[in-house]
Structure 1
Amino acid sequence: MYTLESLKEINNRFCRSHEMTEYDVEKVNEYVELIENSRSKLESKIGDMIQYTNEYGEYFEKAHIDEIYEDGELYICERPYVPFVGINENNNGISYSTSGGAWEYLSKEKLTYVGKSKKRFCVWGNCGACADGAVEFEADVNVWSYTSSENKFISKITGNLYTTKEFNRMIIHYYANEYGQPKDGSEYIYFGRLNNGVWKSDKELQAWLRTFRAEVFEWGKNGMFVWYWKNEDHHVTPTEFDNLKLPEDTILKNARILRCKRKYDEDTHTVHTYYVWYWDEPDKDFYKAAEEQNKIRKKFYTLGWHIPQNQLAIKEFELGKAQPINLDFIKG
């Protein structure tokens, strides 16, 4: 249960504008008790969380159950703001006022119990409904999972579902004339949505698809839905970079082609990309160190523009170690 001190610690915004009192502590503790005592492992309750995956593979870790109807249908918010809690004669004495989106209807019977987790709620404090007047608190709720049976993206390679919990995704459009040249004076013929990306040629796009272990699905006219591995960048020192026993590749960073090395984690579907950037030298003046590091990076780790990014994938294609993805469907 909260004390005045512990409640203040998580309500800096309220405390900057108002004075927190024991009234707020008592009110919050009443709601914590009400919420936690109304949970059940046998069935979901309003205020519980759902790890929800929709038919497009989009994963929402903390979807909020806002309503439960008599027929067992749930009304959920995929990305909720902190919900306001109120007292109501129904729903075990609890009601919620929630903003956010999008909103969906789900079947209560298809939920699977996962466990418990802390969840943030709020109520109006002693100053009433006003600017910065909400007091936030946490209470234990049950967590459930729900994955749509209508998922549109099943890997043709592994047979597993693609979801944004484990993979990145992008819609890529092909925008070229009948000769495969860019339209309207643009340099590019492929444009990515959801996550930005542009490519000037089939060769560039294929190299990127291979580098990030992508799989493509047809998606409307001149479009494709692309699922690919997540990436984590690691800035390392020259010594650390040179000692990495990994294949060398190339990356475009801040309008420069840099040497890089990549490690592929099959378990997490993550590409770990290592390259020399700025590194910590606490014994040197910051500006002096940055100037010296710029020279080192430019001399030893920056390549000319004639070197393509993702060159390792291009070499794999040339040597027959990998095959490009057939993209004829996207070109109409």
Structure 2
Amino acid sequence: MLQKAKNKYGIETLKTLNVLYDREHRLTQEDVDMANRYVELIERTRSEMAPQVGDRLIFLSRHGDYYGNALIDSADEKKALLSICEQPYVPFVWQSADNIRLSVSGGAFHHVKTDDLKFNGWTEGAFKDWGHCGSCAHGAVTFTAKVPQWIYREPEPLYGDFTTETYRRFYLHKDPEARNLYQSLDIAFHNEEDFQQFLQDYEGTVFKGNWEDQIVVWCFRQGCVFLPLEEWEKIDAPAMERRLNCYPEQVKLVKDMEQHITRIYRIKPQNF
């Protein structure tokens, strides 16, 4: 169970989260007392059994989007529904009865059933409220409290277990008449040979897209490491040629199968 904090902050510890506020308004004991009251209220009202407003969430969309700090911003208890914000800014908080309510900016927002969330552990959640100077520029005081973290995956995922937490995703358009056979906003392949080489280098998996000439590729992320020649030669991998920034270059590729990263070891230029 959660060990509830009492008087979590002092002036110096709260300053570390509010450098700009302190510079412009001077953090006071009144601000510290406010933050500590909120922390005690939030942590006293949390539960591993039932999600509540202010709890955090790992949200996985059916398209594979991973949001590791989503937020429960409101609840409809009669309908057993929760409103979820995928990527929230630090929310404003206020006390309502014996719990909290939030004002949340960010997006996108979804409604999910309360019973579909599964408890995943405890985490630090950030909140804020106006300080002693009231509503003004840079006048909010930020603090954190221990809150439950839940996990929710939308049903019927389109791409199995692939998510953007540890993989890259590309939506590619195929056009045999274009300059590049495969093209997206982020990457392009001149011909089929280049594309197949990429799939091999980055453990790519191809899915059918949303329309006839589209495909979706999930693959390893890329890591780039420059090494002096003598260190590069010690890497236990074969040297091979790859085009980087449109120019051919001798590189060594090493795949991290657990972290889903293909690291490209390159020779560090002498003037680098």
Q: Which runs of 4+ in 1 moved over 6 A?
A: none
Supply the AA of the counterpart residue of 1:235: F
Secondary structure at 1:243's aligned position in 2? coil
The Cα shift of 1:147 comes to 1.3
The Cα shift of 1:53 comes to 0.5
Can you list the C-alpha shifts for 1:40-71, whole angstroms capped at 9, x where unaligned? 01111111111110111111101100112122
Question: Aligned residue for 1:139?
Answer: 145
Q: What's the TM-score, normalizing by structure 1? A: 0.76
| Aligned positions, number | 263
Q: What's the TM-score, normalizing by structure 2? A: 0.92
Question: Aligned residue for 2:11?
Answer: 4
Equivalent residues in 2 for 1:53-64 (5 A)?
Answer: 53-64=60-71
Distance in 2, Cα, partners of 1:13 & 1:252: 45
The Cα shift of 1:227 comes to 0.6
Question: Aligned residue for 1:243?
Answer: 234
Supply the AA of the counterpart residue of 1:34: L
Secondary structure at 2:184's aligned position in 1? strand
Question: Aligned residue for 2:113?
Answer: 107
- 1:172 equivalent to 2:179? Answer no
If asked which structure has higher relative contact order (CA below 8 Å, sep 6+), I would say: 2
Question: Which structure has the bigger radius of gyration?
Answer: 1
- 1:86 equivalent to 2:94? Answer yes
Q: Select which of 206, 209, 213 maps to 1:222.
A: 213
Distance in 2, Cα, partners of 1:257 & 1:49: 46
2:62–2:157 CA contact under 8 A, matched in 1: yes
Supply the AA of the counterpart residue of 1:143: Q
Question: Aligned residue for 1:197?
Answer: 187
- Extract unaligned runs of 5+ from structure 2: 1-7
Equivalent residues in 2 for 1:67-78 (5 A)?
Answer: 67-70=74-77, 71-78=79-86
The Cα shift of 1:254 comes to 4.1
Equivalent residues in 2 for 1:1-332 (5 A)?
Answer: 1-70=8-77, 71-89=79-97, 92-154=98-160, 161-175=161-175, 180-182=176-178, 187-193=179-185, 196-219=186-209, 220-277=211-268, 293-294=270-271
Distance in 2, Cα, partners of 1:254 & 1:216: 24
Distance in 1, Cα, partners of 2:258 & 2:181: 33
Secondary structure at 2:43's aligned position in 1? helix
The Cα shift of 1:93 comes to 2.5
Distance in 1, Cα, partners of 2:223 & 2:125: 28
> Bigger CA drift: 161-170 or 54-63?
161-170
> Structure 1 vs Structure 2: percent identity of aligned residues?
31
The Cα shift of 1:255 comes to 4.3
- Extract unaligned runs of 5+ from structure 1: 155-160, 279-292, 298-332
